[in-house]
Amino acid sequence: MKATGVAAGVIATGLFWGVSTVGLAQAPGADQNQQRGNGPGGAPPQSAGSTAGGEERPDVIAPVFQITSVEVLRSRHGPELDIIRVRGLASSSGWEEAELVPLTRGKPADGMLELIFVARAPAEAVEATGFEPMEAIFPLESGHPYKGVNVHSASDSVTLTQLPGYAEGKPAGEDCSKCVGKVFVPKGAAAPTGKPAAQTVNEERLPATVRVIKHSDGIPSAESNPNRLTIVLSKEGTITTAIWE
């Protein structure tokens, strides 16, 4: 899954969570020596499955939760080289080997290079203790045809239309690191009378992927998703568990 320069053309196949995996096809001639942003080289597995019952799952390469910034740096000495630098937030601790994988093949009609910000997800569900910063770089050879770059994460995308340049993503929402023990307030509902804001968690502030499991709910699926926040409620509506799966 390594690629550099104009010839870099990788098509992502299987961007779905049906089996908790992201399959990425490598382009012919891609540079095998490009380093990952957060770790040594070495191609990740093409696919992986998930396990239930708390067992450790096989390696899963997944989009990083959110992008905080996209920057393109240009070398001052020839031959000219552009370096794409992307920073983001992983949903939890334990994510490793961040990298940027191109979706674009050949010269794009709109001149935009499309990238996915991915990393190796934790081997098991992780308690929500706060977002973790991630970073990756992607070099472009001299004479590349791109006028801009659009980088995708699990929850958003950030576009940079001028090279070199800099663009910021949206502010991060609630990471649920302090959710346990607080009262959950569903969308559109009012907080319980007498409960200060510091003791409640509003659903509107949680990630769109949040899964709320009430005390009396069944759980129809045990499939794992490291970018999905699951919170478990007590009979009284208090959050007892907050994990990224």
Pairing of strands 112-120, 126-127: unpaired
Range picked from 28-42, 51-65, 195-209, 230-244 for highest mean pLDDT: 230-244
Question: What are the backbone angles phi and psi of residue 205, rounded to the nearest 5°?
Answer: -90, -10
**Higher pLDDT pick, 83 / 39:** 83
> Can you give the pLDDT at residue 28?
29
Mean per-residue pLDDT of the chain = 81
Give me the residue spans of the domains in the chain: 12-168, 183-244
CA distance 170 to 181: 28
CATH code of 183-244, in short, is 3.30.10
Q: pTM of whole model > 0.85? A: no
Mean pLDDT of 28-44: 36
Range picked from 1-5, 53-57, 80-84 for highest mean pLDDT: 80-84
DSSP states of 170-189:
PPP----TT-TTSEEE-TTP
Least confident of 13-17, 162-166, 208-212: 13-17
CA distance 231 to 245: 10
Confidence of residue 96 (pLDDT cuts 50, 70, 90): very high
> Can you give the pLDDT at residue 41?
35
Q: How many CB atoms lie within 10 A of CB 53?
A: 5
| Model pLDDT for residues 180-222, shown as the tens digit of each residue | 999 999 999 998 888 888 999 999 999 998 999 999 999 888 8
In the predicted structure, residue 3 carries a pLDDT above the cut 60:
no
> Can you give the pLDDT at residue 142?
87
> Can you give the pLDDT at residue 58?
67
Mean pLDDT of 46-53: 42
CB 222 within 8 A of CB 240: no
CA distance 117 to 103: 11
Q: Token digits for 151? A: 């980088």
